[in-house]
Amino acid sequence: MKYVQEKVVRNPESRLVPRMALSASMGFAAYWTYLYFSQTRHIFSPALKHHEVLTHHAHEFTELRLQVAPGIELEGWVRMPAGMGGAGSKAPCAIYFGGRSEDVRWLLNEAQGFKNLPLVFFNYRGYGNSKGTPMEKNLVADARAIYKWVAEQPWCDRNQISVIGRSLGTGVAMQLAASTPVHKLVLFTPYDSLISIAKKKVPLAPVSLLLRSKFKSNECAANVRNPTFVLLAENDEVVPHDSSLRLMQHFAVKPLVATVKGTDHVSLPHDTDAQGLVSHFLTT
């Protein structure tokens, strides 16, 4: 009996598909690894150019240095409006926390809209001349140290310390307000969490697992019981309005909200009308 050996014909695509899947998996893994190790640079992006200080405003400011950890010193300033801060007098005051690319030195020239209000602001670790590396846990710890320092100053009414946060800084301000007896809270373009913002930027990455700094403001909101004022830009391409609105749904006390016409994400805090609204809210 004669046997006929059949020749097996293999489909070349049967080997191509697993190779493509492996290549894709390796590509995603490499991309996620890049995101994980570069996230500090993407989340915190200090401005490289310092603002020049206008001499006719310089008399209102005192430069500060605050040691927040061994070898870590932050640079900051306090703006004391004319006629305030005299011996024996105490006044309501506010602490400002900036955005992801912000050197808060700009307030040395553009804080005039915050009328009749001592204003304290520090650059984050790694920003301006402040030392250290920015991370969520560091910034929040530093915020508590700044609040404690302000409360100890002879010109400050410790029962009326308010907090202002801008963009990234709203996540810092929210955590401080949720755990500290803050008088009032102001949020410029806040977000519900950095996770939700990142998911829109990098939809193919497991950002909830990759992010070390998550700034879950939505989880803090229920513990924020002081009066809160939220300012939104008319045109914001950085923090979508729906992210801000989702955050506001979590507050124990409904925030006051204003959308400032003619502003975008960058220009909003610089707008004199917006500053005037904040000043009125904090001093009445």
pLDDT digits (tens, 9 = 90+) for 108-142: 988 888 888 899 999 999 999 999 999 999 999 99
User: Residue 81 has what pLDDT?
Assistant: 83
Q: What residues make up the domain containing 196?
A: 44-283
Whole-number Å distance between alpha carbons of 170 and 66 = 21
> Any idea what DSSP says for residue 99?
-
Which tokens in the block code for residue 258? Answer: 């204003």
Question: Mean pLDDT over all residues of the chain?
Answer: 85
Residues 266, 190 contacting (CB under 8 angstroms): no
pLDDT at 242 over 90: yes
pLDDT at 274 over 70: yes
| 25 domain-assigned | no
Residues 189, 229 contacting (CB under 8 angstroms): no
Helix (H, G, I), strand (E, B) or coil at 44: coil
Average pLDDT over residues 20-49: 58
Backbone angles phi, psi at 101, to 5 degrees: -115, 25
Helix (H, G, I), strand (E, B) or coil at 148: helix
Average pLDDT over residues 250-279: 95
In terms of Cα–Cα distance, which of 164, 195, 193 is closest to 177? 164
| 89 domain-assigned | yes
| 190 domain-assigned | yes
| 135 domain-assigned | yes
Instruction: State how beta strands 72-79 and 61-69 pair.
Output: antiparallel
Please count the residues of the chain: 284
Q: Which of 58-62, 208-212, 237-241 has the highest mean pLDDT?
A: 237-241
| 5 domain-assigned | no
| 30 domain-assigned | no
With cut-offs at 50, 70 and 90, classify the pLDDT of residue 104.
Answer: very high
Least reliable range by pLDDT among 18-22, 164-168, 191-195, 240-244: 18-22
pLDDT at 158 over 80: yes
Write the single-letter amino acid at 6.
Answer: E
| 229 domain-assigned | yes
pLDDT tens-place string over residues 172-226: 999 999 999 999 999 999 999 988 887 777 666 666 666 778 999 999 999 999 9
User: Residue 212 has what pLDDT?
Assistant: 79
In terms of Cα–Cα distance, which of 106, 189, 100 is closest to 139? 100
Number of domains within the chain: 1
Residues 202, 224 contacting (CB under 8 angstroms): no
User: Residue 195 has what pLDDT?
Assistant: 85
Beta strands of 1-149 (E only): which ranges? 61-69, 72-79, 91-97, 119-122
Q: What is the CATH number of the domain that holds 200?
A: 3.40.50.1820
| 1 domain-assigned | no
